[in-house]
């Protein structure tokens, strides 16, 4: 298999291999190409720089239509190392969450990669989450100020929404833009998301995407830091507003992701809602050789 830069007319095909995985629009693509019996693209490796991070890093994603063997994977990593050196990056960072059972996880550890971030994964039964939140909301409702308003996420200024998201370190700008884009298969669902405002200022927001036919994934549940003292009331209110769009029996499950260090409250909330914690997934990084 040949590893080479993508030609301009190959970018669309390369992006199709990503299965809607969000990458920055300025990403550069390497391709894995099988040359016989006819040339065929079998792997897409988008990479991008993070010049504002400390240390400076080169991030990459890897997606393949067919399995890659260890030799092919190591060839890719060496090329990324060389690209990182040319751009004065000191780390390469794999933008794929891997379970410890995944073969690639063990290969990368042998090659000197280490855990950069661990995500805890939770699922909770849909009806339990909705009914518990409704009970709490009904008790809290008399405390809710009259000038609080629930609004659709569409028509909101995405820059103001991302300002709150970034304050909590919940996702990168390119991830947000990808899920905000209504043309993407997985996107923030207007029907199952909510924004709470007061006199034009955002108090909190809940952004969910649909996965399959029966799962709602909570990407963002965030309170404007200015109103942290009202966090419990804001959280139960935005959940209740979003759940109004859910018919009986839907979703079968809610799923949640929580950074093991920064978002402990998300995990605790999932467990209080009858949730199950699943094996964690890890993002890996390595110093440039």
Burial class (CB in 10 A: 0-12, 13-18, 19+), 161: buried
Please indicate, yes or no, if residue 237 is contained in any of the structural domains: yes
Question: What mean pLDDT comes out for the span 156-177?
Answer: 92
Please indicate, yes or no, if residue 160 is contained in any of the structural domains: yes
| Residues facing residue 45 across a β-bridge | 30
Q: Taking a C-beta distance cutoff of 8 angstroms, is the pair 184, 25 a contact?
A: no
Give ∠ CA 219-223-227 in degrees, rounded to 5.
175
Q: Is the pLDDT of residue 196 over 70?
A: yes
Q: Taking a C-beta distance cutoff of 8 angstroms, is the pair 63, 43 a contact?
A: yes
Task: Say yes or no: 152 and 246 in one domain.
Answer: yes
Tokens 């991830």 sit at which residue?
Answer: 175
Task: Say yes or no: 167 and 235 in one domain.
Answer: yes
Q: Where is the domain boundary, 112, 145, 160? A: 112
Q: Where is the domain boundary, 69, 94, 112? A: 112
State the pLDDT confidence band at 271, using cuts at 50, 70 and 90.
confident
Q: Which of 84, 74, 86 is nearest to 112 (CA)?
A: 74
Q: How far apart are CA 25 and CA 279, in angstroms?
A: 31
Task: Say yes or no: 136 and 274 in one domain.
Answer: yes
Q: Which of 2, 28, 34 is nearest to 15 (CA)?
A: 28
Please indicate, yes or no, if residue 255 is contained in any of the structural domains: yes
Phi, psi of 149 (to 5 degrees): -130, 140
Per-residue pLDDT at 269: 73
Q: Where is the domain boundary, 64, 87, 112? A: 112
Phi, psi of 199 (to 5 degrees): 55, 40
Q: How far apart are CA 247 and CA 258, in angstroms?
A: 26
Task: Say yes or no: 39 and 130 in one domain.
Answer: no
Total domains in the fold of the chain: 2
Please indicate, yes or no, if residue 288 is contained in any of the structural domains: no
**pTM, 2 dp:** 0.85
Q: How far apart are CA 32 and CA 232, in angstroms?
A: 49
Q: How far apart are CA 130 and CA 240, in angstroms?
A: 8
Total length of the chain: 289
The pLDDT tens digits for 84-132 are 999 999 999 999 999 999 999 999 999 999 999 999 899 999 999 999 9
Task: Say yes or no: 131 and 89 in one domain.
Answer: no
Q: Which of 89, 108, 4 is nearest to 48 (CA)?
A: 89
**CATH number for the domain including 138?**
3.40.630.30
Range of the domain at 149: 121-281
Please indicate, yes or no, if residue 181 is contained in any of the structural domains: yes
Please indicate, yes or no, if residue 158 is contained in any of the structural domains: yes
Task: Say yes or no: 219 and 238 in one domain.
Answer: yes
Burial 109-121 (b: 16+ CB within 10 A, else e): beeebebeeeebb
The pLDDT tens digits for 25-77 are 899 999 999 888 888 899 999 999 986 666 789 999 999 987 788 999 999 99
Task: Say yes or no: 227 and 271 in one domain.
Answer: yes
Q: How far apart are CA 43 and CA 3, in angstroms?
A: 9
198 is written with which tokens?
């007061």
Task: Say yes or no: 38 and 156 in one domain.
Answer: no
Q: Taking a C-beta distance cutoff of 8 angstroms, is the pair 121, 88 a contact?
A: no
Furthest C-alpha separation in the chain: 71
Share of the chain above pLDDT 90, in %: 74
Task: Say yes or no: 52 and 187 in one domain.
Answer: no
State the pLDDT confidence band at 9, using cuts at 50, 70 and 90.
very high
């Amino acid at each position: 298999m040949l590893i080479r830069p993508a030609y301009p007319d190959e970018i669309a095909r390369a992006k199709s291999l990503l299965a809607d995985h969000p990458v920055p629009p300025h990403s550069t693509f390497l391709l894995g190409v099988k040359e016989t019996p006819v040339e065929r693209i079998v792997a897409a490796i988008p990479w991008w720089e993070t010049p504002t991070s400390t240390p400076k890093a080169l991030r990459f994603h890897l997606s393949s239509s067919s399995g890659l063997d260890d030799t092919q994977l190591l060839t890719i990593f060496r090329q990324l190392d060389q690209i990182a050196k040319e751009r004065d990056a000191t780390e390469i960072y794999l933008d794929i969450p891997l379970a410890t059972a995944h073969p690639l996880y063990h290969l990368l550890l042998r090659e000197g990669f280490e855990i950069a971030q661990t995500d805890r994964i939770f699922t909770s039964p849909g009806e339990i989450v909705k009914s518990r939140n409704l009970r709490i909301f009904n008790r809290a409702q008399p405390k809710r100020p009259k000038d609080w308003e629930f609004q659709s996420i569409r028509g909101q200024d995405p820059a103001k929404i991302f300002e709150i998201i970034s304050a909590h370190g919940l996702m990168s700008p390119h991830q947000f833009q990808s899920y905000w884009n209504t043309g993407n298969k997985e996107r923030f669902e207007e029907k199952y998301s909510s924004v709470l405002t007061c006199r034009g200022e955002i108090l909190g927001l809940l952004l969910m995407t649909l996965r399959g036919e029966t799962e709602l994934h909570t990407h963002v549940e965030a309170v404007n830091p200015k109103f942290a003292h009202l966090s419990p009331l804001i959280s139960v209110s935005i959940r209740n507003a979003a759940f109004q769009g859910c018919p009986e029996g839907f979703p079968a499950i809610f799923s949640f992701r929580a950074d093991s260090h920064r978002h402990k409250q998300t995990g605790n909330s999932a467990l209080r809602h009858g949730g199950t914690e699943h094996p964690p997934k890890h993002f890996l990084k390595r110093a440039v050789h």
